[in-house]
């Protein structure tokens, strides 16, 4: 009994030592936002000279000690960071991650071939996913994300991150983007600056597709475009036109599907806009 009380007292003291404000958890060497959630982008800071590992991998840290990482749709309830000083002394930190509820969304009327692809399609899908994987590879030095993110167009949100998708009655993978409905031909603008990694007029599932690198492993994808207005390798500023809304690939009508990734982790663009709003 006495031991239990002692332990909870230690826990409270530990929490107090981490808690500086309501919105962040702070220790001498680490500052992490307190509102971590599945699908979110974590923007945190470590003291000079320290390194940080997440899931065994060292994270890229900028000159101010800032680093980022993405939490997946089904991320564990605790995020663990290992912080080390230049002498190699390590400290483990764990932070709670809020669980999210995802709805089920049924979509009727997509081309049946995009639900039950034939053998030829399957080969194409494999090729496409390689192109996409390559476009999302690498952790560049760019820090475009620091200026924040804006909506790529104005339009009603018709699909959200994480929902379980049922296409023409067949359960499929969850939806990982945010869908904005807009008339065909509506200009899609870069939500943040970056460099174009992929500009393709016709991928099997996503049709006209643009992928942009915003730096530190963070990237955006724009799907179902009727026209691609940028070329691979092109530098794009925030607000620049990058494509036009369409219904190419697996879509029932014209809309933009905007996705975001941190490395291979799919994150929620709506949460990214909340954590990194543009001025
Ligand atoms: Zn979508």
The distance between the two most distant Cα atoms of the chain, rounded to a whole number of Å, is 69
Tens digit of each residue's pLDDT (9 = 90 or more) over 113-140: 889 999 999 999 999 999 999 999 889 9
Band the pLDDT of 88: cuts 50, 70, 90.
confident
Distance 179 CA to ligand 1 centre (A): 5
Distance 173 CA to ligand 1 centre (A): 11
Distance 170 CA to ligand 1 centre (A): 16
Give CA separation, 175 vs 47, 156, 252, in Å.
37, 17, 15
Out of 40-54, 58-72, 160-174, least confident range = 160-174
Distance 134 CA to ligand 1 centre (A): 21
Domain 104-275 CATH class label:
mainly beta
Q: Tell me, which fold does domain 2-96 have in CATH?
A: Immunoglobulin-like (2.60.40)
Chain-centre distance for alpha carbon 29: 26
Tokens describing residue 213: 């690198």
Mean pLDDT within 63-76: 97
pLDDT of 7? 46
**Residues carrying CATH 2.70.70.10, the chain:** 104-275
Helix (H, G, I), strand (E, B) or coil at 215: strand
Band the pLDDT of 178: cuts 50, 70, 90.
very high
Distance 128 CA to ligand 1 centre (A): 17
**Residues carrying CATH 2.60.40, the chain:** 2-96
Distance 209 CA to ligand 1 centre (A): 12
pLDDT of 28? 85
Report percent pLDDT > 70 for the chain: 92
Tens digit of each residue's pLDDT (9 = 90 or more) over 9-60: 444 444 444 544 458 888 889 999 999 999 999 999 999 999 999 999 999 9
Distance 177 CA to ligand 1 centre (A): 6
Q: Report whether 172 contacts 116 (CB < 8 A).
A: no
Q: What is the pTM of this model?
A: 0.88
By C-alpha distance, which of 258, 254, 278 is closest to 266? Answer: 258
Distance 220 CA to ligand 1 centre (A): 13
Q: Report whether 60 contacts 67 (CB < 8 A).
A: yes
Alpha-carbon gap, residue 246 to 201, rounded angstroms: 11
Distance 159 CA to ligand 1 centre (A): 6
Distance 258 CA to ligand 1 centre (A): 7
Decide which of 16 and 146 is more confident: 146
Residue 98 DSSP class = B
Helix, strand, coil abundance in the chain, percent, nearest 5: 15, 40, 45
Distance 137 CA to ligand 1 centre (A): 22
Q: Please classify residue 101 by burial: count the beta carbons closer than 10 Å to its beta carbon, then call 0-12 exposed, 13-18 middle and 19+ buried.
A: exposed
Alpha-carbon gap, residue 99 to 148, rounded angstroms: 25
Distance 120 CA to ligand 1 centre (A): 24
Distance 223 CA to ligand 1 centre (A): 8
Distance 158 CA to ligand 1 centre (A): 8
Q: Report whether 276 contacts 252 (CB < 8 A).
A: no
Residue 110 DSSP class = S
Tens digit of each residue's pLDDT (9 = 90 or more) over 216-250: 999 999 999 999 999 999 999 999 999 999 999 98
By C-alpha distance, which of 101, 57, 49, 62 is closest to 80? Answer: 57
Alpha-carbon gap, residue 261 to 189, rounded angstroms: 18
Decide which of 194 and 1 is more confident: 194
Residue ranges near ligand 1 (ion) with Cβ within 5 Å: 159, 177, 179, 257
Beta sheet of 241-244, edge-to-edge order: 187-189, 241-244, 227-228
- Average pLDDT over the chain reads 91
């Amino acid at each position: 009994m006495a031991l239990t009380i002692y332990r909870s007292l230690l826990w409270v003291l530990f929490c107090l030592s981490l808690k500086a404000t309501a919105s962040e958890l702070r220790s001498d060497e680490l500052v992490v936002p307190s509102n971590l959630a599945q699908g979110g982008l974590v923007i945190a800071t470590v003291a000079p000279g320290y390194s940080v590992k997440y899931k065994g991998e060292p994270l890229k840290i900028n000159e101010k000690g800032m680093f980022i990482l993405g939490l997946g749709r089904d991320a564990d309830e605790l995020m663990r960071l290992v912080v080390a000083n230049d002498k190699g002394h390590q400290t483990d930190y764990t932070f709670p991650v809020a669980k999210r509820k995802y709805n089920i969304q049924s979509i009727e009327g997509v081309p049946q071939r995009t639900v039950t692809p034939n053998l030829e399609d399957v080969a194409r899908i494999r090729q496409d996913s390689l192109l996409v994987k390559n476009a999302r590879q690498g952790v560049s030095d760019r820090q475009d994300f620091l200026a924040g993110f804006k909506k790529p167009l104005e339009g009603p949100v018709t699909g959200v991150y994480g929902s379980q998708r049922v296409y023409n009655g067949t359960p499929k993978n969850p939806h990982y983007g945010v869908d904005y409905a807009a008339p065909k031909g509506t200009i899609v603008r870069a939500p943040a600056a970056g460099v174009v990694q992929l500009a393709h007029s016709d991928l099997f599932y996503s049709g006209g597709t643009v992928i942009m690198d915003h730096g530190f492993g963070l990237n955006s994808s724009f799907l179902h475009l009727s026209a691609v207005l940028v070329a691979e390798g092109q530098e794009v500023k925030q607000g620049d036109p990058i494509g036009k809304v369409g219904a190419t690939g697996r879509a029932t009508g014209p809309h933009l599907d905007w996705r975001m990734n941190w490395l291979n982790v799919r994150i929620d663009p709506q949460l990214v806009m909340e954590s990194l709003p543009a001025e």
